[in-house]
Structure 1
Amino acid sequence: MRFSYDEIRSGNAVCTLEIDNQTFTFHPAFHTDALGDFVTYLASVHPLCKLSWKDGAFHKTNGGITWRTNPVLTRWEFRRNFEDLQMTITEIQNPMIDEKKNKKLPRKVVTTTCNFNEFVLCVVKELDRLIKRRGLLGYRQAWQTHTFPLDAFLALKHACLYNRPFELTKNHSGTSLEEELVLLMKDID
């Protein structure tokens, strides 16, 4: 299994998912916060990404998320069942680009089940590589409209490394910036 999010430039990116001996490539555009929506959506289905202060810190999105991948829309749906993740990716018509009914859409790209923790780790490793290579401002410069999804990334990374939610400081006024920076710089295997 492999997940990559690369070639980010001028509001376009290339996302590659290798799963079940198949490779799928998507080209999200700047019209949507593709990476931010994806990472936040993944954190919303992760039981350890509640930041210990309330359930639903990353609000669940009913029906998944949609990327604008001109000329179609790419819909991601996750259903977690204990250690399994059912993932469905569907292409649907983008009415802003093509007003004529496309009889080939909607089209299921893939429906598969994989190990939830393995998938999350795969995504977190890619995000870790991405942020360390580009930086926060470098990502913003390349993607233009949206920032790197730092909060969901840190929650997912902490869950992968320590198998528990990110804890608040003792006075419950927030998280520790020092802990967040250490987590951000920590390597993940």
Structure 2
Amino acid sequence: MKFTYVLSGIGWADVSLEVEEQKFYFDASYISDALRDLLAGLLHLISGGRDDGDRTKPFYFNWYGEPTVARWMLELRDEEHVRIKIDVFPDESVVDMGGERQVPIDAIVPKNDLIHVVVSAIRLLIRTTGVIGYQSTWNHHEFPLQSFLKLYHYVTYNRHFPVTQTVDGYMEHTHSDLREEIRLLSLLLSEADTD
């Protein structure tokens, strides 16, 4: 499996995904926050990113290519595998009607392999552009640092990012360790030095 994600100009990303003989190439536009949506989908697979936390429900998101639309579906098949399906529609008007489309990817893949290839590509992206450079180039959308750190931690340590939950009266609070977050960023930088 191969995945690339490269900012190709102001508000555009060139994306490719190859799963065995199936290939998907797309020029994603800033109209949707493509990277944020993809990382949210991957987080859903490992921790139930929706409000109800139900990882068994498929996770859908759209990427806009002006005029094409790529509708992604990520569905947990079991704890080890995920179905990934990408439908490409000629324009937005036919997406909800289920009209004419191409299906460049419809495959069941190892969940951790998918997460690993995406995180590897995004590590390269962020080391190349930086957080501020990413926002300037992607046009309006910030780099999804929180989602990336959670996935980077998952890939590096094979476990969820550690958080603690506390209740203060009626308020629930989630706390993370800033030192751990900075340590992950430092690890990312040290990996860049060895590349």
Residue 55 of structure 1, CA deviation? 7.3
Residue 185 of structure 1, CA deviation? 3.0
**Gaps (5+ residues) in structure 1?**
none
Specify the code of the residue in structure 1 equivalent to 2:72.
W
Secondary structure class of the residue paired with 1:32 = coil
Residue 83 of structure 1, CA deviation? 0.8
Aligned 8 A contact 2:71 2:86 in 1? yes
Q: Aligned partners of 2:88, 2:37: CA distance in 1, in Å?
A: 17
Q: Does 1:147 align with 2:142?
A: yes
Residue equivalent to 1:112: 107
CA RMSD, aligned part only? 3.0
Residue 86 of structure 1, CA deviation? 0.8
Q: TM-score, normalised by structure 2?
A: 0.80
Residue 41 of structure 1, CA deviation? 1.3
Distance 1:182 1:63, change over 3 A: closer
Residue equivalent to 1:157: 152
Residue 94 of structure 1, CA deviation? 2.3
Q: Aligned partners of 1:117, 1:95: CA distance in 2, in Å?
A: 31
Structure 1 residues 85-106: Cα deviation after superposition (integer angstroms, max 9, x where no partner): 111000124246x9xx9x7x12
Greater RCO (CA < 8 Å, at least 6 residues apart)? 1
Q: Does 1:123 align with 2:108?
A: no
Which is worse superposed, 5-14 or 18-27? 18-27
Residue 180 of structure 1, CA deviation? 0.6
Residue equivalent to 2:169: none
Structure 1 residues 68-89: Cα deviation after superposition (integer angstroms, max 9, x where no partner): 0122110110111221111100
Moved over 6 A (4+): 58-61
Residue equivalent to 1:83: 80
Q: Aligned partners of 1:85, 1:170: CA distance in 2, in Å?
A: 29
Higher strand proportion = 2
Q: Aligned partners of 1:95, 1:119: CA distance in 2, in Å?
A: 27
Structure 1 residues 42-63: Cα deviation after superposition (integer angstroms, max 9, x where no partner): 111113x77xxx974x999855
Q: Does 1:7 align with 2:3?
A: no
Q: Aligned partners of 1:60, 1:84: CA distance in 2, in Å?
A: 12
Aligned 8 A contact 1:40 1:149 in 2? no
Q: Aligned partners of 1:169, 1:181: CA distance in 2, in Å?
A: 17
Residue equivalent to 1:70: 66
Q: Does 1:94 align with 2:95?
A: no
Distance 1:175 1:60, change over 3 A: farther
Using the aligned pairs only, state the percent identity. Answer: 29
Higher helix proportion = 2
Secondary structure class of the residue paired with 1:174 = strand
Residue 149 of structure 1, CA deviation? 1.0
**Gaps (5+ residues) in structure 2?**
167-172
Q: TM-score, normalised by structure 1?
A: 0.82
The size of the alignment, in residue pairs, is 180
Residue equivalent to 1:133: 128
